[in-house]
A and B are shown apart, each in its own frame.
Chain A
Amino acid sequence: MASTIKTVELTLPASVEALRKLKIGTVVYLTGRLFTAREGVYKRAIEEGAGMPAANVDLGTANFHCSPAASIEPDGRFNVGAVTATASFRFAKWLDGWFKLSGCNIIIGKGGMTSEIYRNVFVPNKAIYLTTVGYGTGALLGRGIKDVPGVYWRKELGLAQAVWVLDVEHFGPFIVESDLDGASLFERENEKIAPGLARLYEGTKPATLRRYGETDDKTDEVI
């Protein structure tokens, strides 16, 4: 099984040439520096105008939509256990500003975004989207973390929303959900599954009591 799946080891920061070689459905392992940022960071950095908490070189240019299962020991050491991503579609509205501010060219998360966002926001910024696997392979990812060189905005945002900088080795697996062309692996899979849905629903009719805003088109998504 899985013999048809291509696997790539990618070093961070990743060049455009390196990203160009990645196509949707490719399995990727990362080595280098990346950092966590989610809604708390986006709000603070972009909406509140705080900018980035540190320089690119200190943070890396791959943004993980993640809050680690981690604690800070009384002596100040970071104890990182498992890490997995949180669903990314909620953060789409901040991304254009974020790419320009952060210089990131890789977003790592859960579940991806729509191909419309990829085409309009990712492609012009030469960025790709990697999805975590599972979800989630928290323990495997935890093993790939070799060092935590810094945690920023810990006091302002709390442990879960803070910026955790992670130095990683053979960190993965991830799957390329969107490549530099802006295609979406999830949407491709949805299209393959869609034709069989009608047969499943055969003989059923919509519920007696409807709901506002409800769609009955099963090819639609909820994100």
Chain B
Amino acid sequence: MIPLATIEKTAETLMEKAAIEIPEDYLGGLRRCADTEKGDLSSFVIQAMLENYEAAKEDRRAMCGDTGVPRWYVKYGNDARPESGPIGVESALRRATANATQSIPLRPNRVHPLWRTDHDNNVGINAPEIDYAFHPDADWIDLTTVHKGGLFGSDYRMLFPGDGMQGIRRFFLDTLVAFGKRGLACQPAIVGVGLGGSKDACMVLGKQASCLRTVGSRNPDPKIAELEDEFKELGNSIGMGAMGFMGSSMVVDCNIEVGYCHTGGMPMSVHMFCLSSRRATARIHGDGRVEYRTDPDWFTDYSRRATVEWHTPVPMATE
């Protein structure tokens, strides 16, 4: 039985880590951008951001003043047994979100869409969002928080098979050019692309590709992995760097996730996880041990479920 107190305390720590500590994989990617950037203004911006991450860690203050909209991704091992069940976990995550907003502090961004009223704590109707996944043969719970900012940088479009690969390429460019100007997307970014699924699934896949996969990760399909490399290169050849100034630092990495879709369509979404790519993960084991990390490890062979039925791989007997 995993104690509820452990879940709530871990969740509060995750809120703080996400807000303050830039993940190593993103930092490494941004440093590589800094090494190759020729534009003087774009270089200046990246350098200022690198200093900003240090200041955030030293002072234990949020790296960006817009601390995004905190949300949760919970992955249950099939044998995980949290105290008070999944309902208990949800209440712990809501409490942790509210408490951490006050204690770090985060900006209380969440308001009612119509009345613009809020509780000053990032909690409200349908907020924070909590998404779930499951994993076979495990007794742990993985908690991931993502504080994605951004009123800009995401878009969706229903393409058709006739639009083809060039149509995908064009919509990718459209989104990056439109939101890259003036740096509205807060690039260099981890660009996530969702291809296929139904409309909502397409948005979810693209968002998760940007927020829950790390810089340097590749899709297991080698042809999609090649496309990820190609789109990263394409984005960086627009001529635009940080803040939309001349340069080559637009895409820290490109991650693509796919889902089977209607035979007549080819829906596509594009999402950009910004210069403050806030994510943090913890695994709470069945015995209460907690391990923190920055790779959510959200996409797995199981989560992608490529076959009709999922079977736990059985080790082959030696010949």
Contact = CB atoms under 8 A, between A and B. Distances in A.
A180 interface: no
Contacts of B53: 139
Given A140-B51, A207-B167, A208-B159, A160 B118 contact: yes
A175 B118 CA distance: 33
B45 to A, nearest CB: 5
B167 A204 contact: yes
Interface in B48-102: 48-49, 51-53, 55-56, 59, 61-67, 101-102
Interface in B174-189: 174, 177-179, 181-184, 186
Interface residues of A, number: 63
Interface in A35-75: 40, 66-71
A182 B279 CA distance: 40
A3 B47 CA distance: 12
Interface in A2-42: 2-5, 25, 27, 40
A83 interface: yes
Interface string A196-214: 1100110111111101000
Contacts of A4: 40
B65 A68 contact: yes
A193 B159 contact: no
Contacts of B120: 71, 158-159
Contacts of A142: 55, 59, 61-62, 65
B112 to A, nearest CB: 11
B35 to A, nearest CB: 10
B244 A186 contact: yes
Contact of B245 (A110, A143, A189, A208): A189
Contacts of B41: 5, 25, 175, 189
Interface residues of B, number: 72
A98 B53 CA distance: 35
Nearest to A194: B239
A87 interface: yes
A160 B107 contact: yes
Interface stretch (A100-108, A117-125, A127-135): A127-135
Contacts of A193: 238-240, 244, 246
Nearest to B240: A193
B127 interface: no
A141 B65 contact: yes
Contact of A143 (B43, B55, B276): B55
B48 A173 contact: yes
B48 A134 contact: yes
Contacts of A141: 65
A84 B238 contact: no
Interface in B95-124: 101-109, 111, 116-118, 120
B166 interface: yes
B246 A139 contact: no
Contacts of A192: 239, 246
Interface string B136-175: 0000000000000001100001111011001101110110
A204 B40 contact: no
Contacts of B170: 201, 204-207
A87 B275 contact: no
Contacts of B117: 158
Nearest to A186: B182
B234 interface: yes
A154 B250 CA distance: 38
A151 interface: no
A67 B107 contact: yes
B44 interface: yes
A70 B108 CA distance: 8
Interface of B: 37, 40-41, 43-45, 47-49, 51-53, 55-56, 59, 61-67, 101-109, 111, 116-118, 120, 151-152, 157-160, 162-163, 166-167, 169-171, 173-174, 177-179, 181-184, 186, 234, 237-240, 242-246, 274-276
Leading 3 A-B pairs by shortest Cβ distance = A84-B65, A139-B56, A204-B170
Interface of A: 1-5, 25, 27, 40, 66-71, 79, 81-87, 110-112, 131, 133-143, 158-160, 173, 175, 186, 189-190, 192-193, 196-197, 200-201, 203-209, 211, 218, 221-223
Given A85-B65, A87-B184, A160-B118, 10 more contacts: A5-B40, A69-B62, A71-B120, A79-B105, A135-B183, A135-B243, A160-B109, A207-B167, A222-B179, A223-B184
28 contacts: A2-B44, A5-B41, A67-B65, A69-B61, A69-B105, A70-B105, A71-B105, A84-B64, A134-B45, A134-B49, A134-B242, A135-B183, A136-B64, A139-B63, A142-B62, A143-B55, A158-B120, A159-B108, A160-B108, A160-B118, A173-B48, A186-B181, A197-B177, A203-B166, A204-B169, A207-B170, A207-B171, A209-B158
